[in-house]
A and B are shown apart, each in its own frame.
Chain A
Amino acid sequence: MNGVIMASYFTVASLLSIGLYGVMTKRNLMKIFISLSIMDTGVNLMLITIGYLPGGTAPIENANFAKYVDPLPQALVLTAIVIGVSVTALALVLLIKYHSKKGTLEYKGGMKW
């Protein structure tokens, strides 16, 4: 396997683990959402890596393209990024609301059982 791809997969794995670790341990809601964004980035990178072909060009039609990367994952990533942005935006709105109600972003327990 190509070194770039290996490195890329490794990055994906670390991003996912870092993100998951953040979600599992942080009490600060902002940090949780940052962790989620990190995970999201990891998955996006995963998609890109899947479509990547070593030495391939951009999938734009021109006279001498022989090897080009799979265009579909890139389109998927675009969509995913858009979704990620909107989710993050909404998350921030909710955090503002939460802050205005509680005066803090630390979650110290609330509804349970």
Chain B
Amino acid sequence: MVVHAVLLIAIPLLSAFLIPLIRKISKWFTISILTLNSIFSILVLFEVYNKGMIYEIIAFSPPVGIYLAIDNLSALLALIINVFGAINFVSTLKEKSFKFHMLYLLAIAGSTGIVITGDIFNMFVFFEITAVASYALVASKKSEKAVEGAIKYMILGSLGSTFILMGIALIYSQMKSLNIYDIANRISMMNENIKWISFAFLLTGIGVEAELFPLNGWVPDVYEGASSGIASLLSFGPSKAAIYAIARLLIVIFPSMHTYEIALWIGVATLLMGEIAAFMQTDAKRMLAYSSIGQMGLILIAFSLVSQGIRYSIPASFFLIVSHASAKSSLFLLSHKNKMGSALTKYGGITAVLSLIGMPPLAGFWGKWYLFLGAASEKLWLVIILIFFSGIIEAAYFARYLHRSIGEEKMEASYAYPMAVLSTFSLAFGLLPFIYKMANMHLLGGV
């Protein structure tokens, strides 16, 4: 069965706009759409696994026309966003408003769009869809903190998207093209200075969403303010899509030693800053937010090793993304009550924490393992030592967190089950053999 990958975006996008018409059943409608989309995303993943990269062109007149390019990482991310989105939706079942369901679908559609589109302007549009939906979702909790977080997110997000558009404009002024692979092929023809300026704009713009230091001022406030379900959505959806967009930027469009070097040091700075800031944090959600920042830094480091360690860079980021998406989303769900009363939440929480710290055979271990091999193949010993340092800090505050979460109080089933299922993913992805082959496909940008 051939699934048109475009359905992954089209279905949730269209149904989001259908929802106002069918307010009464919007919850069940959303669930069925999310399930359908998850199935499609699994089929797409298998298609990529079997056939390699998928290109798909749906021709309308530009810029409406859609050009999709799906490599192994984007197939994986599409799977994570959709499947996790469906599972995570269970935790928000109490939400009755149809607007919420609409926004949820929009956020899913937007994040999926970012990862599978092959067109830089479409990427921008999907960024905006995701961003607008997430601002509103964050504010949907209606508490003072939520609104404050949403406003901060919005200010920085808008600033970021302005910069993205600026970068796109600069690229278009030179290349007269918006297709990522077309641009990539002809990038050498670009004026050197304009090339770097546009790269800087794009990196800054996307970096805001991807939680890079120092663009991530909004992150702790938003995660603290948002409800647990939304914090979880943000941690596996938009932020992962954005970091992947940076990977495309870095590896496909602007591959050069300089950009890799910049990305490497930004990644190191993000990692250290996030982990050190998390170390003394007492609020669980804020701590998890800072830890998220650190993990994003780690993923960026993995991408930046692509020049020498391509053999390790893509698998590393592959597993780090899986590990972080599953572990952090489940921990955010756990932070709803933050008491690990039942065995389900207890072992779920422990699995998540262990995967983040990088214990085998969880996905986080393979991520760090490949990352270290990649860094070793470039002989970046300083970076390796800094990662160790941050890892030890991480272990300290996560151990404290685990101890603090001991308690008899039980969480509601609507949180406990998704939480446990989400954290199981880091175990499953660490164990399933076919994932290794998937991770080792170097499809990204045909490199």
Does a CB–CB distance below 8 Å link A and B in the complex?
A: yes
- The residues of A with any CB-CB pair to B shorter than 8 Å are 16, 19-20, 23, 29, 32-33, 36, 39-40, 42-43, 46-47, 50, 70, 72-73, 75-76, 79-80, 83, 86-87, 90-91, 94-95, 97-98, 101-102, 107, 110-111, 113
Say whether, besides A75-B62, A111-B220, A43 and B139 are in contact (CB < 8 Å). no
Decide if B162 touches A40 in the complex (CB within 8 Å): yes
- Contact: A43 with B149, CB < 8 Å? no
Q: A102-B144, A111-B149, A111-B224 are in contact. Are A32 and B155 (CB under 8 A)?
A: yes
A36 to B153, CA, bound (A): 13
Neighbour of B151 across the interface among A40, A70, A87, A98, CB < 8 A = A98
Contact with A along B147-177 (1 / 0, CB 8 A): 1111100110011011001101100110010
List the B side residues contacting A50 at CB < 8 Å: 169, 172-173
Q: Of A16, A20, A110, A111, which is in contact with the most chain B CB atoms at under 10 Å from its CB?
A: A111
Given contacts A33-B155, A36-B159, A87-B128, contact A111 B135 (CB under 8 A): no
A–B complex contacts, Cβ < 8 Å, 30 sampled: A23-B155, A32-B155, A39-B159, A40-B158, A40-B165, A43-B162, A46-B166, A47-B165, A47-B172, A50-B172, A70-B176, A72-B62, A72-B63, A72-B172, A73-B172, A75-B62, A76-B63, A76-B121, A90-B136, A91-B154, A94-B139, A95-B151, A98-B147, A102-B144, A107-B151, A110-B148, A111-B145, A111-B149, A111-B220, A111-B221
Task: Count contacts between A and B, CB distance < 8 Å.
Answer: 97
Residues of A within 8 A of B144 (CB): 101-102, 110
Residues of B contacting A97 in the complex (Cβ-Cβ under 8 angstroms) = 139, 142, 147
- Nearest chain B residue, comparing its CB with the CB of A50: B173
B102 to chain A, nearest CB (A): 13
**Alpha-carbon separation in the docked complex, A76 to B155 (Å):** 22
**Closest approach, in angstroms, between the C-beta of B68 and any C-beta of chain A?**
18
Residue B125 CB within 8 A of the other chain: yes
| Bound complex: CA A74 to CA B248 (Å) | 26
